[in-house]
Each structure stands twice: as C-alpha cells, then as structure tokens.
Structure 1
Amino acid sequence: MEFAQALFLVVAGHNDRQEHLSRARRLVLKVHLSASLSEGESVRFLPPIFGEVRLIVHQFLDRLMHDSGRPIPIFNQNAGSLDRRMDKAEFDRFADAYEDQHRENIAVTGEGPEYFAEYKIKAFREIVDRAGIEVNRICDFGSGIGNSIPYFRRYFPEAALTSSDVSERSLALGRQRYPEAGSCVLIENNRIPVEADSFDVAFSACVFHHIPHREHLTWLRELHRVTRPGGLIAIFEHNPLNPLTVHAVNTCPFDENARLIFARDLAKRLQAAGWASSRIQYNLFFPRALARLRPFENKLGWLPLGAQYVATARKV
C-alpha cells in the first residue's frame, strides 16, 4: 500500500520529528479522503482500508509519542509557561466577548458555535444511551456562558441541569441568556459546591486544556466525587494531532494560555482518578464543504485526526 510505504519512509528516513508529524497528518488525511471520495466504492469497502491504516497510524503515534527526545510542540507556542493558568479574572474578562471571538475563530469550518455545541450534546446523548444510564441530573463542568444549555434542553428534556464554572460573570451571562436553564454553582477553592454522588453524569466541553496539566487529577477526582456510582463522565477536548485545530487554538485570544491534551494522556488520568472503562472516540473530520461525508464519521472514531475527541469513563 503506497500509504504504508510513505509513512514508513517518513518515520525511518528523517530525524526531524515535527516533520514526521506534519507529513504523517497530510498522508493520513489524504488516504482517508481518497478512500471516501473514490467513485464507485461502497461503505463496505472502507473498513479493510481503514483497518490497515489504523494499525499503521497507531504504530506511528506510539513511536512518535514515546520517543525520549525533544517534545512535540503541540501546545500554543505563545502561551509562555506550560503551567500558567487562565485564572478567574481572565475568564471573567473574556466572558462578554467570548461568543464573537469563538464565531470568528471557527469561521473557516463553515459552521457557527451552535453547530459545535449541538454536536457535543447529541453525541453525549448517544453515549449515555449506549451505556444504558438513566439521566435525571447533569453536571456541566466549565459551562461558560451557557452555549450548551439549549441543546441539553433538547436532548435531555427531563433532566435537571447544573451549570458550574469558576467565572461568576460567565454564569451570570448564562442565566441572562437562558433564565430557565436550571441551577448554577460557582466553583471555588478547588471544589464543586455540591454533595457527593449528586449527578448521574458529568459533562465537560473543551475545558481541561485551560487547566494546568498537573491539576487534571484534582478535578477528575472532584468530578468522580460528585458523580453517583454507575454514573458516567464525558470530556470533549481539542485534538492536538489535528493541524487545523492547533492553528485555531494558537490564533484564538481566549485560548492564549491553552495547552492541548493527547487523548491517551487524558484516558490515563481518568483511570488514575478512580474512573473505570475509559474510552476515546475522535470526532469532527469534515468541514461544512464536505458535509455529505459526515455520515461516515461514526466509522472513523478510531482515527486520531478528528478535530476533537471525547473521553468517557464510568464510576464503579
């Protein structure tokens, strides 16, 4: 297979690992788009192709990410210290302008914030249904200005929603935009101010890349505390292996202190925090111009080149 030979040469024939990453991204994207777009190919023909690509990609990523040499620069190069946090004051400062900045930043995809907010909640509903969980109480961790609220109402109409955030201004804007949204809690002192086992499920949308990586375990344990036994967590995050995602993060003022997270690292942290059965699914492979290919995305969840991914786990 030409792809396999090309990717092998990339890994074996060059010393610059960033060059490996860049060329591999282009190769993987090229092969999966070519397979999808070839005339006359049926859906049944795609899995064998993708099965071979899957093995090659995973072998490549294992070599790339476990190499002991220089780190791959997948976080915002302008962020300064890797552990610098965006604090409460900064979240409050960005709250009023967040919607416009977000809309401008993602315009290249052809979609607005509403599309990305809805896709997450719709996917979350599917995850919960597959897990067979009855959902009466939801925690939205890092809810921001409430962009997910109308979609929680659409896909979880009977559930009680609790929006939680460190930014008091963001919570106020969420209440202003959606007065009947449910309850809000202000996160302070490294704690979500609710009793243990308060929620059936916990949800987080692109929040953890704003939290210093050394603090991930703290917050994953806190979310474990507030989720009932048998409950589930779903964390949606940007994929640092997707070049368009990295570009969008690096050019967004709101993400100036962001440090993206490899999916496998987040899965390991979930397990270390006491969660069980962690799983990863990659999402958002096609922009609006290729929307006709989006029905194939469910078959591409293994491919680590989607713009985002979701990490899920259960509390046992």
Structure 2
Amino acid sequence: MEQNFDQFAKDYRSTHTKSIKAVSGADSFYFAQHKINELARFEKNSPQKLLDLGCGDGATESYISIQFPSFSVTGIDISKESIAIANKKEIPGCNFLWFDGVSIPFAENTFQIVFVAGVLHHVPLSQRQNLVNEIARVLQPGGRLYLFEHNPYNPLTRYLVNTCVFDEGVQLLKAKEAAMLLKNAGLKISDNRYVIFFPRGRFFKWLHKTESMLAHIPFGGQYYIRASKL
C-alpha cells in the first residue's frame, strides 16, 4: 500500500478528482472539506490534540486549520511521499509523520480526538482489529473517534471504488462491521450517520438540505461512526 500511494502522491488530488467528479459532481477537495463540516457538528474550536490517521497529502488539515485553529493536529500516513508533500504545505498547528501502518507511534492516552477517513477499507481484514485497537490505545479517556468509510450498499459508491486506481483490490466494510471493530476495542458507539445521498451537482443542490433527515437510512454514499473511550 505504501508504494501504491507513493506513486500517486504528487498528483493524488487531480487523479482522484478525475476519477470521481463526473459521477459525484464534486472534486476531491470537496469531500475532504465535507468531513470537517461534519466534525464541526460535534466539536468546538478549543485546544484539542487531534490525530489524523491516514492523512495523505494533508488536504484535510487545510480545512481543520481554518475551522479549528486552536487544535494541535498530527497527521500520520504510510506513504512517505504523501507525508513529504503535507509537510511542505506548512499548515499552521499541523505536523505530519510517517508510520508503519501497524503501530501508532504515540503513548497511551495521547489524543482527545482521532479522525480516520477512508482508511480501513485499504487495511487487510486480518490487520483491521489491530489498527482499531491502536486507535483506542492512543485515545484519552473521554476521547472521541470519528471514523469515515464508503458505504458498500450504495451502487454509485461501489462503481467509484471499482473504477478508482487507488482502490484496486480493497474490500469495503459495512457500518455494522466497522462498529463491531470499535466495540471489540472497548470503544462506545455514540452515533452512526450516513452522508452524501445525492450527487453534488447544481441540479441536486436543493436536495442536499434533506440529507440530515436521512442520516440513519443506510443508503448514503458514505457513513461515519462517532465513538468514545470510556
């Protein structure tokens, strides 16, 4: 996986946009910002230590630094090339480090928030529980996890994953499967919400306002789970 993402690191956003925009109606940056907008539903701009596991090129951090300037953010990723690109952006309050994909290089109870977006479906089935256990380990008691994933029940999502060069050979996981991983790690599920029900093109814009009312219908293009450490 490291080599795969290294080879796409330089042009990741443009390649991703080319893969998804015709169907989704939005570019790669839109979906990065959308996740931070969802985070802002529940978190306030106060001093917090956040870990972004699978941060890639740091695009998400650009939006975190605007929405949550008081946060201290650490992004980690298995792609050394992506980490290098992220560090060159010099985003205020953000630091980026390579990690091996197995052990998160921080002590227990380090972070108040862990943010994981579109990562688990890239992790082999045999390694997923270990990674989630690592997430639980570095969360502080009372800390929150925000886990975003593609929804395999949505046909457009399956199409985009099947045609995206980054997702070759991945295995999507249902929300209930993701929730079980979190529960097995001792985390308490607070909420499971589905998002991105309609394409983002202008014609569908009037429907976007209805999506919050559909959040618990398992048909959105993506879902996210909020969980906490007791």
Answer whether TM exceeds 0.5 for this pair: yes
Is the Cα–Cα contact under 8 Å of residues 19 and 163 in structure 2 kept in the other structure?
yes
2-structure distance, mates of 1:134, 1:146: 21
Deviations for 1:109-155, whole angstroms, at most 9, x for unmatched residues?
Answer: 221112111110110121335xxx96511000000011101110122
Is the Cα–Cα contact under 8 Å of residues 186 and 193 in structure 1 kept in the other structure?
no
Query: What's 2:166 paired with?
Result: 254
2-structure distance, mates of 1:219, 1:278: 20
Query: What's 1:188 paired with?
Result: 100
Identify the match of residue 155 of structure 2 among 228, 243, 268: 243
Residue ranges of structure 2 left out of the alignment (5+ in a row): none
Q: How do 1:1-316 and structure 2 match up within 5 A? A: 87-108=1-22, 109-128=24-43, 136-180=48-92, 182-188=94-100, 190-287=102-199, 288=201, 289-316=203-230
Deviations for 1:28-70, whole angstroms, at most 9, x for unmatched residues?
Answer: xxxxxxxxxxxxxxxxxxxxxxxxxxxxxxxxxxxxxxxxxxx
CA RMSD of aligned residues (A): 1.6
**CA apart distance, 1:185:** 2.0
| Structure having the larger proportion of residues in helix | 1
Distance 1:134 1:182, change over 3 A: closer
2-structure distance, mates of 1:215, 1:128: 29
TM-score normalised per structure 2: 0.93
Is the Cα–Cα contact under 8 Å of residues 134 and 200 in structure 1 kept in the other structure?
no
1-structure distance, mates of 2:97, 2:215: 33
Of the two, which has the highest radius of gyration?
A: 1
Query: What's 1:11 paired with?
Result: none
**CA apart distance, 1:181:** 5.2
1-structure distance, mates of 2:121, 2:49: 25
**CA apart distance, 1:196:** 1.3
1-structure distance, mates of 2:146, 2:101: 23
| Structure having the larger proportion of residues in strand | 2
1-structure distance, mates of 2:156, 2:16: 15
2-structure distance, mates of 1:149, 1:198: 19
- Secondary structure of 1:237 counterpart: strand
- Secondary structure of 2:113 counterpart: strand
2-structure distance, mates of 1:266, 1:142: 16
**CA apart distance, 1:212:** 0.9
Number of positions where the alignment pairs a residue of Structure 1 with one of Structure 2: 227
Query: What is the identity, as a one-letter code, of the residue corresponding to 2:213?
Result: K
2-structure distance, mates of 1:189, 1:286: 33
Distance 1:297 1:186, change over 3 A: same
Residue ranges of structure 1 left out of the alignment (5+ in a row): 1-86
Is the Cα–Cα contact under 8 Å of residues 117 and 147 in structure 2 kept in the other structure?
yes
